Amino acid sequence: MKRLSVMFAGLFLAGCFAVAQSGDVKNVSVSSAKALVDAHGAFILDVRTPEEHASAHIHGTDANIPVQVLADSIGRLDSLKTKPVFVYCRSGHRSAKASGILHDKGFTDVTNMEGGINAWVSAGFPVDTGK
């Protein structure tokens, strides 16, 4: 019975982490992103503006570096090149661009959340606010 439970858990997690890949960047749905944030321990990067980040962000976000300055600030993240990095923005467009920048700079485990924090909130997942 225990073996069956372990096998079912493995199949469940494989389904949760189903991804679409673009090059070496993984694109995941918001539900898969929630499971990743909860279970995987990835470095969470918000690429929105500081004002957007202050209004609401995913709990546990490790850094807020706007996509417009990411390439110039990449040195801050060099120690993460082989570690999991999870990227999000408002709707998924800026995070897709940022994920591509990270990949081009040699990051090997980049995951982009499709739909951004808008999809996260629509799914009913909690956010931290500046209040």
User: Distances from the Cα of 41 to the Cαs of 38, 60, 63, in angstroms?
Assistant: 7, 10, 14
What is the model's pLDDT at position 130?
74
Instruction: Give the rounded distance of the alpha carbon of 39 from its chain centre.
Output: 12
In the chain, where the domains are located: 2-122
Global pTM reads 0.81
pLDDT of residue 21 exceeding 50, the answer is no
User: Distances from the Cα of 78 to the Cαs of 6, 58, 75, 92, 131, in angstroms?
Assistant: 36, 22, 5, 23, 32
Give mean pLDDT, residues 58-71: 96
pLDDT of residue 105 exceeding 80, the answer is yes
Give mean pLDDT, residues 73-80: 94
What is the model's pLDDT at position 117?
98
Two structure tokens written together for 59: 């709990």
Strand 43-46 relative to strand 25-28: parallel, antiparallel, unpaired?
unpaired
d(CA 14, CA 36): 11
For the structural domain made of 2-122, what CATH number should be given? 3.40.250.10
Compute the mean pLDDT over every residue in the chain, rounded to the nearest whole number. 85
